[in-house]
C-alpha cells in the first residue's frame, strides 16, 4: 500500500458562525472557482474528510450552541455542496463523529503509516494470531501485529488497540458494556475478504487529560485546605507567608489558585512520589478485574507481544523538558522526573533562559512538568495497568517526519469500497447527478462563449470606426500660410 499524508484544511469551529444564516460560507463565487479547479486533482475521499467535524474537539462547542443550530449548519453544508461542486457527496458525508469513531480513525491512520496492514513477508517477526470476529470456529489468521495508540490531551485521554483473541466476559452486563467499546470493521477490498477484519478496543476518558487533571487536583487542594483550616483553626494557604506545600510543584516555586473570589497561595515541595500518591485517587480505579480508569471495562493486553505509540502529553512529558522522547524506559523516566521535581525553581528558570530545554517548552510547561509527569505515570501504569517493565512504548509527535491525523484513517475506512460504490451511486443518481455536474462543466463553456462574444463585438466596433473614418473626405490646404481649412457646410 502506498503512503500519503493529509491534514485537516478546515479543522476549526470558527469556520462556522452561530447560525447558518450568518455563516461565512466558503462557497462564494471567487472561492468556488478556485476550489473547482483544484478539485480536478484531489481525491474524492479527501473532500469528504474535510467536512467531517471532530466531535471530541469541536462537538462540545456545537452542543453548547444547541442541537438545532448544529443541525442547521450541517443541513446547510448538505444543501450547498452538491449544488456547487461536481463530486460524489452523500448526506452522511457531513456529520459530527463520536469519540469512538475518532479513536478508530486514529488507530487506522497510524497503523497504515507504519505498514501494519501489509501482508506478512518471509521472516516477519512481529506477527500475531487473530481469531477473526464472527469466525472464531475457524483457524486463527497469522498477520502483522498492529500498534496500539495512547493519546493524552488537555481535557481527555484515549486508548485504542487491537483485541486479536476472542474475549470472554465475567457477566452479561460486562458484555453489554464491552460491545459499546469494541469496534469491528473490515479494511479488505470487499466484504468477502476477511483477512483484514479488525476488532479494536477504543475508549475516551473525558476529564483525564493533563490540564483537566490539574484542575481537579486544585479543586481537591482547595477543599483540603478549607477543611483543615476550619477543623484546626489554621490559615494555611491564606497568605504568602503561610503557603500550602504542594508536592506536585518544583521546589520553592510560588503559585496561586483563584476560586470564587479567594486566593490560595502555594509553594512547591517537589516530591514526585508524594505527588503520585496524592493524585492516585483521581484515577477512580475499582477492585474489579479487566477495568481501567473510572472502572471502565478494558480487555486484556498481551504485553509480551504488543506495541504502543504515545502521542500528545505522553510525548510532551518525556521530551519537552526531560528530553527522553522515543523509546520509553520507566526507570530512566522516573529518575529524571524525580530529579526535575526536586530541583529548585531558580535553577530550572536559569536553564530555561539559557535555552537548555526544547524550543516547544515554555514557563507553563516548566511549572507543571512535575505534576504532569506524575499524572502520566499513574495513568499509564495504574490506570491502564501497563507493567513497569514494559519496553514497547514509543512516545512521538511525528511518524516518518509527518503528523498523522485521524483524518487519514477516516479516508481509508470510508473509501475502502469506493470504486464500486461510485458506479452504483452514479447509476442510481442518474439524471440528478448529471444536473449537478451541469453548472461545473457548462459554466466554463458559458464563460468562454461570453468572452468570444465580447471579443467579436470589439472587433466589429473597430471595423465600423475604420469604415467611418474612410468616408470622411481628405482635408484641403488653403491660404498663404499653408494652414488647413475645414470643409464648408452649405
> Is 154 flagged in the annotation as binding?
yes
Please confirm, yes or no, whether 259 is among the known catalytic residues. no
Reduced to 3 states (helix: H, G, I; strand: E, B; else coil), residue 90 is coil
C-alpha pair distances (Å), 481 with each of 474, 475, 478, 484: 19, 15, 8, 9
- Angle, CA of 361, 367 and 370, to the nearest 5°: 95
Binding site annotation covers 101?
no
Q: Is 88 left (phi over 0), alpha (psi -120 to 50) or beta?
A: beta
Burial of 227 (0-12, 13-18, 19+ CB in 10 A): exposed
Q: Are strands 96-97 and 53-54 parallel, antiparallel or unpaired?
A: parallel
Annotated binding-site residue? 155: yes
- Three-state DSSP at 417 gives coil
Residue showing cell 497504515 = 112
What residues does 259 pair with on adjacent strands?
262
Q: What is the distance between the alpha carbons of residues 484 and 467, in angstroms, rounded to a whole number?
A: 23
Cα–Cα distance, 256 to 238 (Å, whole number): 10
How far apart, in whole angstroms, are the C-alpha atoms of residue 78 and residue 90? 8
Nearest to 337 by CA among 385, 382, 370, 312: 370
Residues in the chain: 490
Residue 205 burial class via C-beta count within 10 angstroms: exposed 0-12, middle 13-18, buried 19 and up: buried
Q: Which of 384, 409, 389 is nearest to 310 (CA)?
A: 384
**158 annotated ligand binder:** yes
User: 265 φ, ψ to 5°?
Assistant: -100, 135
Which of helix, strand or coil describes residue 185?
strand
Cα dihedral 460/466/468/470 (nearest 10): -150
Does 260 appear as a known binding residue? no
* Per-residue DSSP letter, 379: I
How, if at all, do strands 244-246 and 197-206 pair? Answer: unpaired
CB atoms within 10 A of CB 154: 13
Going from the C-alpha of 115 to that of each of 109, 121, 400, the distances in angstroms are 10, 12, 12
* Active-site choice (102, 162, 313, 378): 102
Strand partners, 159: 150, 203
CB atoms < 10 A from the CB of 166, how many?
Answer: 12
Annotated binding residues for ATP, written as ranges, equal 154-158
Annotated binding residues, written as ranges, equal 154-158
The residues assigned a catalytic role are 102
Amino acid at each position: 500500500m502506498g503512503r500519503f499524508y493529509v491534514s485537516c484544511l478546515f479543522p476549526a469551529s470558527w469556520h462556522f458562525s452561530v447560525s447558518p444564516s450568518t455563516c461565512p460560507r466558503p462557497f462564494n463565487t471567487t472561492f468556488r472557482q478556485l476550489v473547482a479547479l483544484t478539485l480536478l486533482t484531489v481525491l474524492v475521499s479527501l473532500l469528504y474528510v474535510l467536512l467531517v467535524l471532530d466531535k471530541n474537539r469541536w462537538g462540545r462547542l456545537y452542543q453548547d450552541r444547541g442541537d438545532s443550530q448544529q443541525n442547521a449548519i450541517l443541513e446547510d453544508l448538505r444543501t450547498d455542496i452538491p449544488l456547487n461542486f461536481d463530486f460524489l457527496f452523500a448526506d452522511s458525508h457531513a456529520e459530527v463523529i463520536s469519540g469512538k469513531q475518532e479513536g478508530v480513525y486514529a488507530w487506522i491512520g497510524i497503523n497504515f503509516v507504519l505498514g501494519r496492514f501489509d501482508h506478512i513477508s518471509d521472516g516477519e517477526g512481529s506477527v500475531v494470531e487473530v481469531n477473526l470476529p464472527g469466525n472464531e470456529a475457524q483457524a486463527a489468521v497469522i498477520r502483522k501485529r498492529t500498534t496500539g495508540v495512547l493519546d493524552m490531551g488537555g481535557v481527555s485521554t484515549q486508548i485504542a488497540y487491537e483485541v486479536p483473541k476472542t474475549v470472554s466476559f465475567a457477566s452479561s452486563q460486562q458484555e453489554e458494556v464491552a460491545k459499546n467499546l469494541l469496534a469491528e470493521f473490515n479494511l479488505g477490498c470487499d466484504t468477502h475478504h476477511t483477512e483484514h477484519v479488525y476488532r479494536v478496543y477504543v475508549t475516551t476518558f473525558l476529564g483525564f487529560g493533563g490540564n483537566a487533571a490539574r484542575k481537579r487536583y486544585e479543586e481537591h487542594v482547595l477543599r483540603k485546605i478549607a477543611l483543615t483550616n476550619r477543623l484546626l483553626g489554621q490559615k494555611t494557604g491564606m497568605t504568602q507567608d503561610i503557603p500550602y506545600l504542594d508536592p506536585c510543584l518544583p521546589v520553592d516555586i510560588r503559585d496561586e489558585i483563584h476560586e470564587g473570589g479567594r486566593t490560595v497561595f502555594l509553594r512547591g515541595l517537589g516530591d514526585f512520589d508524594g505527588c503520585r500518591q496524592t493524585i492516585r485517587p483521581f484515577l477512580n480505579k475499582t477492585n474489579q478485574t479487566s477495568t481501567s480508569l473510572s472502572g471502565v471495562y478494558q480487555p486484556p493486553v498481551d504485553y509480551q507481544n504488543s506495541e504502543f505509540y504515545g502521542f500528545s502529553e505522553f510525548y510532551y512529558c518525556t521530551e519537552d523538558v526531560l528530553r527522553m522522547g522515543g523509546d520509553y524506559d520507566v526507570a530512566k523516566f522516573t529518575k529524571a522526573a524525580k530529579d526535575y521535581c526536586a530541583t529548585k525553581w531558580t535553577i530550572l528558570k536559569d536553564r530555561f533562559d539559557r535555552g537548555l530545554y526544547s524550543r516547544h517548552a515554555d514557563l507553563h510547561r516548566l511549572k507543571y512538568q512535575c505534576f504532569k509527569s506524575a499524572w502520566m505515570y499513574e495513568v499509564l501504569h495504574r490506570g491502564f495497568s501497563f507493567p513497569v517493565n514494559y519496553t514497547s512504548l514509543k512516545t512521538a509527535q511525528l511518524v516518518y517526519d509527518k503528523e498523522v491525523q485521524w483524518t487519514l484513517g477516516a479516508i481509508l475506512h470510508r473509501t475502502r469500497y469506493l470504486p464500486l460504490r461510485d458506479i452504483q451511486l452514479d447509476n442510481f443518481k442518474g439524471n440528478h447527478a448529471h444536473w449537478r455536474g451541469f453548472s461545473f462543466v457548462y459554466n466554463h463553456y458559458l464563460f468562454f462563449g461570453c468572452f468570444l462574444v465580447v471579443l467579436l463585438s470589439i472587433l466589429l466596433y473597430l471595423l465600423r470606426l475604420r469604415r467611418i473614418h474612410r468616408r470622411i473626405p481628405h482635408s484641403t490646404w488653403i491660404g498663404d500660410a499653408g494652414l488647413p481649412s475645414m470643409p464648408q457646410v452649405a
